Amino acid sequence: MPRNVYWELHYHFVWRTKDNSPMLAPAVEQLTHKFLVHRALQTPEAIVHAVGGIEDHVHMAVSLPPTVQLAEWVGDLKGATSHHINHGPSGPGALAWQTGYGVVSFGKRDLPWVVEYVRNQREHHAAGRVQDRLERITQMEVSPPEGEPC
Q: Which helix (H) or strand (E) holds 40?
A: helix 26-40
pLDDT for residue 2: 65
The pTM score is 0.86
Averages of pLDDT over each 10 residues, the chain, 150 residues: 84 96 95 97 97 96 97 97 95 94 95 95 82 74 50
> What is residue 104's predicted lDDT score, i.e. its pLDDT?
94
Please enumerate in sequence order all residues whose Cβ is within 8 A of that of 134, keeping only pairs 6 or more positions apart, or say none. Answer: 12, 14, 59, 102, 104, 114, 117
- For the chain, which domains are there? 10-135 (3.30.70.1290)
